[in-house]
């Protein structure tokens, strides 16, 4: 059966478009999860700094870190469940997962340290995770 070249061309274009928009949607989801992670890490850093300066109470700081821990774990799960269909998306998601996972470790560590020792030594781990997240975010936003 002869299939017109136009039809094939049209189908190919539609296929490409769908693939592109799916990838765009995936990128949007990645950006969303990374933005949430950034917000969480920044909040944790701010809360710990305020506590160090004795402007905040232990109860408030513990509550913030507890809430933020839940949020960033949710962001990590959201990342893991994003549908990917191309190699580009796969590598993007891997980069995002690495960055967010660093954030999860840092936030959980700070939360536990506060609970056990009543203070947090420094925010270095959090800040490094923040830099990772921000760099992946910049890359993704640039590629849009």
Partner 1 sequence: MKRILGVALGILTAIGGFLDIGDMVTNAVVGSRFGLSLAWVVVVGVIGICVFAQMSGRVAAVSGRATFELIRERLGPRAAVLNLGASFMINLMTLTAEIGGVALALQLVSSVSYLLWVPFAALAVWLVIWRVKFSVMENVAGLVGLCLIGFAVALFLLNPDWGELGRQALPGASTSTEKVSTYWFYAVALFGAAMTPYEVFFFSSGAVEEGWTTKDLTRSRANVLVGFPLGGLLSLAIAGCAAVVLLPQLISVTALSQVMLPVALAGGKMLLALIILGIVAATAGAALETTLSAGYTIAQFLGWPWGKFRPPAEAARFHLLMIICLIVGIGTLMTGVDPIQVTEISVVFSAVALPLTYLPILIVANDPEYLGEHVNGHALNGIALIYLVIILAAALAAIPLLIITGAGQ
**Interface stretch with partner 1, choices 15-23, 60-68, 85-93, 97-105 (CB under 8 A):** 60-68
**38 lies in the binding site for partner 1 (CB under 8 A):** yes
Spatial separation of the C-alpha atoms in residues 86 and 94, rounded to whole Å: 12
**12 lies in the binding site for partner 1 (CB under 8 A):** no
What the block records as the tokens of 75 is 């962001």
DSSP letter, residue 34: H
**36 lies in the binding site for partner 1 (CB under 8 A):** yes
**119 lies in the binding site for partner 1 (CB under 8 A):** no
**68 lies in the binding site for partner 1 (CB under 8 A):** yes
Spatial separation of the C-alpha atoms in residues 141 and 38, rounded to whole Å: 14
Widest distance between CA atoms in the chain: 80
Spatial separation of the C-alpha atoms in residues 32 and 24, rounded to whole Å: 12
Among 26, 27, 30, 64, binds partner 1 (CB under 8 A): 64
Residues that bind partner 1 (CB under 8 A): 32, 35-36, 38-39, 42-43, 46-47, 50, 54-60, 62-64, 66-68, 71
């Amino acid at each position: 059966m002869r299939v017109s070249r136009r039809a094939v061309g049209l189908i190919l274009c539609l296929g490409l478009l769908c693939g592109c928009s799916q990838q765009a949607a995936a990128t949007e989801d990645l950006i969303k999860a990374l933005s949430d992670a950034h917000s969480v890490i920044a909040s944790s850093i701010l809360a710990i700094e305020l506590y160090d300066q004795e402007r905040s109470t232990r109860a408030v700081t513990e509550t913030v870190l507890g809430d933020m821990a839940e949020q960033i774990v949710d962001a990590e799960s959201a990342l893991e469940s994003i549908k990917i269909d191309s190699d580009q998306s796969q590598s993007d998601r891997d980069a995002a997962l690495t960055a967010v996972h660093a954030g999860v470790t840092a936030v959980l560590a700070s939360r536990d340290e506060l609970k056990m020792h009543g203070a947090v030594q420094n925010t270095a781990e959090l800040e490094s995770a923040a830099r990772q997240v921000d760099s992946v975010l910049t890359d993704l936003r640039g590629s849009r």
